A and B are shown apart, each in its own frame.
Chain A
Amino acid sequence: MDKIRRALLGQIAKLTAGAALVPLSSIASAGINDQPPRREGDPEKRYAMLIDLRACIGCQACTVSCHIENEAPLGSFRTIVSQYEVEHEDTGDSATFMLPRLCNHCENPPCVPVCPVQATFQRQDGIVVVDNEVCVGCAYCVQACPYDARFINEYTQTADKCTFCAHRLDVGLLPACVESCVGGARIIGDLRDPESQISRMMKEHYSELMVLKPEMGTAPHVFYLGMDERFVSRPDAKPAIWDVRDQQGEEIGYEFSGH
């Protein structure tokens, strides 16, 4: 990707992050593939997450605690921290870059209108959830999500995803990933409350915030502070290690690129 385009994407990322501060009136449904009305959840709130990448050390504590809290099957993740090794081609200097990924609880979630049975929906507080007793497992939402935030849970055979730990938020607890974050990099809160930590930080760092894949028009509600615009969309990178599993899903070894 050339420099100009990258810079442009970075600008869009910033602008889109800013636009999210203006509360979008819930989009009324009309045409095919438009957002249906939101339901359930507290209409007074709009949950969002701010990830301060300057404080992320890539320890994967969030990955592990989420896995335990939400009992995702082996090899499937509701959140994960992508780790990149960046080497300067001229000087040979290297650095690492950590990028926690999770559902972006978009303002315009492309996974919701595609669902043929209304099993996946957006709550009035912005959280995108799946009713896995209604879900038929068609995996259309998995295809529609630009962030790979969804998967088919092999135990339940239905769509699975990050819910911002709605079951914990609803009883006044923090999501597992936020609770376990060593560096305090993950900040969750209510954007409609001007006094919340997330609202204050978003105001303070307004011009530096970025979101992932702004070109998809999804208006993500996970904001990144300290983001490098080269990582906003699918990074131009080489994979180093793939995990290798046998038919039963047991890990049998690693595969290194270049082998």
Chain B
Amino acid sequence: MNSAVIEVLAPRYGIAWYPWAVQYFFLIAVSYSALLLTVPGLLFGKKNYESLAKVALLVTVSCTLAGPVALLADLHQPLRFWHFYANLTPWSWMSIGSLLLPVYLVLVVAYAWLAWRPAMQAQARGNGWIAKLSGWISLGEWHAPRWMLVATGLGALALSVGIMVYTGAEVAIVKARPLWNTYWLPVMFVLTGVVAAAGLVILINRLMTGNDQEVNEQSLKVIVVTMILSALVAALWVSEGITGFSPSVEQAFASLRGNPEWRAVAIYGLLVGIALTLTAIVTLRRPGWLGRSWIAGLLAVHIGWTFRWMVLMEVQTVAKNTAGYYHYAIEAGSSGLLGIIGTFGLWLAALLIIDILVPWKKSLQASSH
């Protein structure tokens, strides 16, 4: 272009999705990913994965409980949430999600309830208010057959696939934002979700169960495999943009061209990704280093959360029509920093309440057979 264009007065369009969205996408991804990690130990009853299943079950339940609250808060009219159910809209991904989410939540809670129930029933035989409460929560002394656990587990897994598809598709179909409009986005949400869930399992394992080495080892292996897959997906996305195979990805690149901040983001993402993969590999290979797995755990959680922050928040600062980029500064209030901290606070509260009430470190129902 042999002319220079100045946009004289550029209106600044506000952010429409707040950090609540990041919190929801993060928690729900950790939830479905941690659910996957419970499968070998709890659903298949494999002994050597039982410790992993115990921690992962706690992670999946706490995240499943806190996530939907963040989603509700992201509505500008949260009290109108019932409109979702009064106006069923099968052609909208978000409406489909609103149907899947409560069923998923109930199934995950039921799955955990059945898994924890034998230990809860044992606890109910003691004295004190926790024993009494445990009796109420376990709904009596009757024995729940294993098929109930398997059925709810399989149900939750089926619904979790629905959650993966809907959360990914919901964002990926938005053509107006070329950075979202790619088939790889849903895949990347799942992969980074698995990375973050394995990372959180390592951290909880370090803080609450005495740093079980087997759990660390299994989670690190999960991280290495999913990070390699993420690198592949990222490479495919980039090559689609460079070759012009996908016009939308090409447009996405064009929208960021010459922006030093986004270049820095790309380099940072690459470096952190490499750092995590190498840390995980080294921790696995060096004898005696498994105890320090929490370093990889922290990095993994950081990657899972920051990926969502970049995708959902920073992409909103790329103007669709006007010149330049919007500047987004996190507000202090509930639609900003307080919302982020509050959601994590809620998650922590859920985690601690379960920890107080449920003897989740004891044998799961899986091993009672």
Contacts and interface: CB of A to CB of B under 8 A. Distances in A.
Interface stretch (B58-66, B110-118, B169-177, B208-216): B169-177
Given A139-B76, A144-B176, A146-B320, A33 B93 contact: yes
A32 B90 contact: yes
A24 B8 CA distance: 38
B75 A239 contact: no
B1 interface: yes
B10 A241 contact: yes
Nearest to A89: B2
Interface stretch (B13-21, B32-40, B138-146): B13-21
Given A116-B84, A138-B75, A148-B321, A32 B93 contact: yes
Interface residue tally of chain B, by bracket?
Answer: 35 or more
Contact of B75 (A76, A89, A137, A146): A137
B233 interface: no
B369 interface: no
A3 to B, nearest CB: 9
Interface in B1-55: 1-14, 16-17
Interface of B: 1-14, 16-17, 74-77, 80-81, 83-84, 86-87, 89-98, 169-170, 173-177, 247, 251, 254-255, 316, 319-324
Contacts of A4: none
A83 interface: yes
B51 to A, nearest CB: 40
A34 to B, nearest CB: 6
Interface string A67-101: 00000000111001011111111100000100001
Given A114-B93, A143-B174, A235-B7, A257 B324 contact: yes
A240 B9 contact: yes
Contact of A216 (B76, B84, B170, B176): B176
Contacts of B80: 117, 134-137
Nearest to B80: A136
Closest 5 A-B residue pairs measured CB to CB?
A137-B76, A139-B16, A239-B324, A146-B176, A116-B94
Contact of B91 (A33, A85, A240): A33
A78 to B, nearest CB: 12
A257 to B, nearest CB: 7
Nearest to B76: A137
Contact of A136 (B16, B81, B173, B177): B81
A135 B84 CA distance: 10
A146 B181 CA distance: 12
A166 interface: no
B91 A242 contact: no
A34 B87 contact: no
A23 B269 CA distance: 48
Interface in A22-48: 29, 31-34, 36
B91 A29 contact: yes
B319 A234 contact: yes
The CB with the most chain A CB atoms within 10 A, among B83, B98, B321, B323, is that of: B321
Given A34-B91, A143-B17, A234-B321, A117 B83 contact: yes
Given A36-B89, A212-B321, 10 more contacts: A1-B1, A85-B8, A86-B5, A113-B92, A114-B174, A136-B83, A151-B16, A216-B176, A237-B5, A241-B10
A239 B7 contact: yes
A240 B7 contact: yes
Contacts of A152: 14, 16, 76
A220 interface: no
Given A32-B93, A113-B91, A84 B7 contact: yes
Contacts of A146: 175-176, 320
Contacts of A86: 3-6
B67 to A, nearest CB: 16
A37 to B, nearest CB: 10
Nearest to B180: A143
Contacts of B175: 110, 144, 146, 216-217
